[in-house]
Amino acid sequence: MDMKEKIAQIHQLVDNELAQVDSMQALDALRVKVLGKKGELTALLRGMGQLSPEERPQAGQLINEAREALTAQLDARQAKIKARDRQKALMSETIDVTQPVPAPLLGSEHPLTLALNEVVDCFTGMGFEVVEGPEVELDHFNFELLNIPQNHPARDAQDTFYIDDNIVLRTHTSPMQARTMLSRKPPIRIICPGRVYRADEVDATHSPVFHQLEGLVIDEDVTMADLRGTLNAFAERLYGKGITTRFRPSFFPFTEPSAEVDLTCVACHGKGCRVCKGTGWIEVLGCGMVNPKVLEMCGIDSTRYSGFAFGIGLERIAMQRYKVPDMRLLYEGDVRFLSQFK
Ligand code: DAH
């Protein structure tokens, strides 16, 4: 058989097999079978040694032409298969942009944050400025300047987290009264919200970490009537018309006179119910006229200036506002509870 016939046979073989080829693997296999090291056409090349020197150039040329033609033929098919596979992949990966998707899970503001924002709005609306202070506080500000001397029961290690002899976790937001008076001149009208710490056991109404909002007003001729009016306005803004305050005499070392303040029970509007234990009132804050001793220690002339201060327990407000029966719910981070405040 001469070279031309052998080559024609290989062309025939490729034509036949290509008719069956339907994948890249099958095509690669055919390529190896014909053009590979042990392939049919390569075998012809090897066999050239048996030809006479005169026949070799022409045979070589025929084989090379065949190699080029076959390579082109296989490449063309390869391109077709690739294009088809790509099309298939694109079809299978198509995204239906009109299909409805599940709504992403959105968070919500914590009830304490909601309550804080409302309380802050009430006071900023009356011209108060919001300031913040350190939670790790010097004994000097937390106690000393607030007229809570050494050996005062409020310093008892049972209540106070001591870091060392001079540093505590603040037990109230009141140290910001001292810090503010020392750094500003009257008129002063600030509120200071924040976290406070006391070594309390956790139960339905206690937590070692809770929140307060301190208020301080210092100016000439500030009286207890201003304090009462401010807190009445606050009560009404927060809870609506008909909610007012009741002052009961009390004692705080940094105010004189001092009072505990109750608000009309929001649940029964003063009639008496389980929430207010039948009294019609709920205790929410402590307050008083800033003790002249404190004014003087903080560099304010007590013969010219007077002022009032108050400290609101934020948890109380939030629990009442949102009818939360147990303080622990506020700290557990349970999504089933928190998602109700969306
Ligand atoms: N600091 C007090 C407490 O933690 C609350 C308080 C009472 C703050 C009277 C005041 C105040 O500013 O005048 O219980």
Nearest CA to ligand 1 atom 7: 286
Q: Find, among 193, 186, 192, 189, the residue nearest to 302 by Cα.
A: 186
Neighbours of 100 (CB within 10 A): 6
Q: Which residue bears the tokens 């008083």?
A: 288
| The predicted structure's pLDDT at residue 137 | 97
pLDDT tens figures, 65-96: 999 999 999 999 999 999 999 999 999 998 88
Identify the three-state secondary structure at position 191.
Answer: strand
Q: Which of 152, 168, 174 to mutate to test the pocket of ligand 1 (most atoms within 8 A of CB)?
A: 174
Q: What's the whole-number average pLDDT of the chain? A: 92
pLDDT per position as a tens digit, 13-60: 999 998 898 999 999 999 999 999 998 888 888 888 888 888 888 888
**pLDDT at position 155 over 70:** yes
- How crowded is residue 244: how many other Cβ atoms within 10 Å of its Cβ? 16
**Span 204-227, pLDDT tens digits:** 888 999 999 999 999 999 999 999
- Choosing from 254, 291, 306, 315 the residue with most ligand 1 atoms within 8 A of its CB, the one to mutate for a pocket test is 254
CA-closest residue to ligand 1 atom 12: 310
Nearest CA to ligand 1 atom 13: 287
Alpha-carbon separation of residue 161 from 110, 158, 172, 189 (angstroms):
26, 8, 12, 29
Does pTM surpass 0.85?
no
Our answer on whether the CB atom of 294 is closer than 6 Å to any ligand 1 atom is: no
Give which of 312, 68, 124 is closest to 212, Cα–Cα: 312
Of 211, 191, 196, 224, residue with least CA distance to 290: 224
For residue 1, what pLDDT is reported? 67
Q: Is the distance from the beta carbon of residue 252 to the nearest atom of ligand 1 less than 6 Å?
A: yes
Enumerate residues 6+ apart whose C-beta is below 8 A from 258: 249, 250, 251, 252, 286, 287, 288
Residue 313's beta-bridge partner residues? Answer: 212
227 touches 289 (CB < 8 A): yes
Which of 194-226 are b and which e, b meaning 16 or more Cβ less than 10 Å from the residue's Cβ? bebbbeeeeeeeebeebbbbbbbbbeeebeeeb
Q: Which atom of ligand 1 is nearest to the CA of 196?
A: 4
Query: What separation in angstroms does the CA of 290 have from each of 84, 201, 210?
Result: 86, 31, 24
CA distance linking residue 304 with residue 176, whole number of Å: 21
State both tokens at 233: 């306005």
Among residues 26, 8, 256, which one has the least CA distance to residue 146? Answer: 256
Determine the residue of 172, 228, 289 to mutate for testing ligand 1's pocket, defined as the one with the most ligand atoms within 8 A of the Cβ atom. 172
Task: Summarize the confidence of residues 111-127 as an average pLDDT.
Answer: 96
Which of the residue ranges 25-29, 151-155, 214-218, 241-245 would you say has the lowest mean pLDDT?
151-155
Of all protein residues, whose CA lies closest to atom 5 belonging to ligand 1? Answer: 311
Regarding the beta carbon of 311 and ligand 1, being less than 6 Å apart is answered yes
Which amino acid residue places its CA nearest to atom 8 of ligand 1? 311
> In sequence order, what are the residues at sequence separation of 6 or more whose Cβ sits closer than 8 angstroms to the Cβ of residue 123?
191, 215, 234
